[in-house]
Chains A and B, each alone.
Chain A
């Protein structure tokens, strides 16, 4: 059986008043001042570099960590770097109630698991998901478990396309492995 779960420590992107930050845009995720960088490995240090309260994220993040953000994550421009900076840090997944459409596509195409869960806003603001908690998500069934608090909730399972691209690694690898493109 192929592994269908992701496990990692979460970072809940709250603002000072304890609210999950909505509409985080691509300039806050990866500022346009660094768009000239083309090496993915160098992008990690700028991740969330323009988001108030989270500028030290690259120093704190460890491989496999999972981000929890507010609705419309990744609004704004179509820059791929806003996804690649998390790949550079080996972030395991991003959970949000919703994503901006181009950002969502870019993440899927680059093999970064992005998972929608309308419920996480209430869970995060109610203290049931806190930074540092250990989370386990089955992206096939949509079952998520906050291991630290023994609390389970649902995320939307990955679509077939998303799953296939994720398994292949990225859109290019998927294209080569599938006869879809013919």
Chain B
């Protein structure tokens, strides 16, 4: 019997037989910890292993992105504890100036196609966008991985999702993703890997793939892949990996748990209303909901293409008086590209607040929280009660967030 993409990647990292349902010992090419989870890893490591060496310091990293630079004393202490540990063990820190860890690992060529990458980030699986098996893990797992370079893993079954129809403007990768989340809910992909096929998936840019793969976590899935790459996406990935790109594809007779077809022909912009990311409706149903603030960024929509798309709408327009729009590029490299292309200027002149790279808008990040009664529209991936403060969060594409901030209410770019 053939193998699915995830089975092939795991098989390349284990001596056991990698078949769905089996538990294998898997080598991890990259082990990372963030300013969340990282300090616990340091603590466990020192208690359990003392001065023992890491399995491989060149494959072990810290990435600080949640609260960067630290805006609470707790984060400041935690980051420093990681820096001290890193210095002692000779490992590299991607510090608070660098941006979102998963994106940095990709840009730096550390996450490679067909590689295995683990870290203390439940959205580590976003690396599926470039054919890498990323996986979020707890701090005990990561401590063990720092020391041994391996972990145990139950090989997941794979569900094949065939997306029918073409994506047409103004619908974007985020609208596609939100719509899939609505259709698939939190049960269909639970504990499974997904492979997305069809023109609308294969046509996605790297940024679009990252958007799609970042919401697998919200679908309760393990990881998502889009095994067909268009030339532009392939080139973008090769720019980071520095090597010709040959990601694994599934065998023709690979076993799937299920094949699901979803039609997206004629899809309009979508919004996820609080309190759950799967509570997705067309913009038309929510048009007119007043907003107080907007957020453009996150691992889901923080790439150059995402911010450029928002800037195209905001250029020559103004964010409505009283509405606070926060823009956070995913990484320093993205920031630099935006700077070079004059996009930051367009955003600035529209009235947006431009923040340094990082996660920012999630949890208690460095761009601030929402207050009770505040309504926010965000390009992030979670809108659970209390996640970004006490306000209510709607999730949408960069274009919808930009248009909504101009009008002061939930709107589609076509409403301008």
Contacts and interface: CB of A to CB of B under 8 A. Distances in A.
B262 interface: no
A72 B152 contact: no
Contacts, number: 71
Given A27-B386, A105-B141, A78 B136 contact: yes
A102 B139 contact: no
B40 to A, nearest CB: 7
Nearest to A182: B148
A75 B220 contact: yes
A79 B34 CA distance: 13
A33 B378 CA distance: 23
Contacts of B121: 78
Interface string A158-182: 0111000000001110010000110
B141 A106 contact: yes
Contact of A109 (B140, B154, B186, B386): B140
A125 to B, nearest CB: 18
B286 to A, nearest CB: 24
A110 B191 CA distance: 20
Given A27-B386, A36-B74, A170-B140, A78 B147 contact: no
Contacts of A175: 144, 147-148
A101 B137 CA distance: 9
Given A72-B190, A106-B140, A160 B74 contact: no
B31 interface: no
A32 B306 CA distance: 30
Contact of A72 (B74, B122, B220): B220
Interface residues of A, number: 31
Contact of B138 (A23, A27, A75, A106): A106
A109 B141 contact: yes
B3 interface: no
Interface string B88-125: 00000000000000000000000000000000111000
A38 interface: yes
B140 A102 contact: no
A106 B222 CA distance: 15
B75 to A, nearest CB: 11
Contacts of A117: none
Contacts of B25: 180
Contacts of B251: none
Contacts of B44: 172
A84 B163 CA distance: 41
B191 A78 contact: no
A101 B150 CA distance: 17
A109 B23 contact: no
A171 B141 CA distance: 8
B43 A38 contact: yes
B191 A171 contact: no
B209 to A, nearest CB: 22
Interface residues of B, number: 32
A80 B150 CA distance: 19
Nearest to B192: A101
Given A38-B43, A72-B190, A106-B138, A78 B144 contact: no
A33 to B, nearest CB: 10
B186 A23 contact: yes
Nearest to B152: A161
A78 B137 contact: yes
A79 B121 CA distance: 10
B17 interface: no
Contacts of B141: 105-106, 109, 171
A119 to B, nearest CB: 18
A27 B384 CA distance: 10
Contacts of A78: 37, 120-122, 136-139
A172 B43 contact: no
A98 interface: yes
Contacts of B23: 159-161
Nearest to A174: B144
Contacts of A100: 220
B222 A101 contact: yes
B107 to A, nearest CB: 23
A105 B190 contact: no
A178 to B, nearest CB: 10
Contact of A98 (B143, B191, B386): B191
B138 A181 contact: no
Nearest to A26: B122
A77 interface: yes
Contacts of B154: 159
Nearest to B387: A27
B138 A72 contact: no
Contact of A105 (B120, B138, B384): B138
7 A-B pairs closest in CB distance: A106-B138, A181-B148, A109-B140, A172-B48, A161-B152, A80-B138, A78-B138
Interface of A: 23, 25, 27, 32, 36, 38, 72, 75-80, 83, 98, 100-102, 105-106, 109-110, 159-161, 170-172, 175, 180-181
19 contacts: A27-B386, A32-B363, A38-B40, A38-B43, A75-B220, A76-B122, A76-B384, A77-B122, A78-B137, A98-B191, A105-B137, A105-B138, A109-B140, A159-B23, A161-B23, A175-B144, A175-B148, A181-B147, A181-B150
Given A80-B140, A106-B141, A159-B23, 17 more contacts: A23-B186, A25-B384, A27-B384, A38-B40, A76-B122, A77-B122, A78-B37, A78-B122, A78-B136, A78-B137, A79-B138, A109-B140, A159-B154, A160-B23, A170-B140, A171-B144, A175-B144
